[in-house]
Structure 1
Amino acid sequence: MREHSNDIRIPQDDERIDVTDLKEVDYWTHWFGVSEERLRTAVASAGTVKDDLRVYLGLP
């Protein structure tokens, strides 16, 4: 299990998720309130657009 950094960086593109950037993964897991595994599964199924992921994850 990867340790989460206290240095969570806001992504340059706040509409798309880059799961190859571990700092972005930390940011988006916190933002969506999901695990890294859940985020990666959602991206694999719904793509990298934040609003599409929000819908896929069933969030308001």
Structure 2
Amino acid sequence: MADDKTKRDFRDRDRVSADEDYEVEYFATKTGVTPQQVKELIAKHGNQRETLELVAKALRKQ
């Protein structure tokens, strides 16, 4: 289901949606990993932004 852009609250700002390409692309650009890696990280570690940032940072160092 697509995000409703008319609703402007911040309930899901702490999550990254693997179903929304723009969220995956933004997170990939921000963290320096590929969009495919972002989707794999979400599948393995869940969609909590804080956790994903830590894991992506560790992945970049490898």
- Superposed pair shares fold, TM > 0.5: yes
Specify every segment of 5 or more residues in structure 1 that has no aligned partner in the other structure, as ranges. 1-11
Instruction: Tell me the matched-pair count.
Output: 48
Specify every segment of 5 or more residues in structure 2 that has no aligned partner in the other structure, as ranges. 1-9
**Structure 1: which 4+ aligned runs deviate by more than 2 Å?**
none
Q: Which amino acid aligns with 1:38?
A: Q
**CA offsets per residue over residues 2-49 of structure 1, 9 Å max, x none?**
xxxxxxxxxx63310001011111111111111011101111111000
Identical pairs, percent:
21
Structure-2-length-normalised TM-score = 0.65
Structure-1-length-normalised TM-score = 0.66
Higher Cα Rg: structure 1 or 2?
2
Residue 28 of structure 1: aligned partner: 27
- Report which of the two has the higher share of helix: 2
Measured in 2, the distance between the counterparts of 1:45 and 1:26 equals 18
Residue 6 of structure 1: aligned partner: none
Residue 54 of structure 1: CA displacement?
Answer: 1.6
Matched, 1:48 2:47: yes
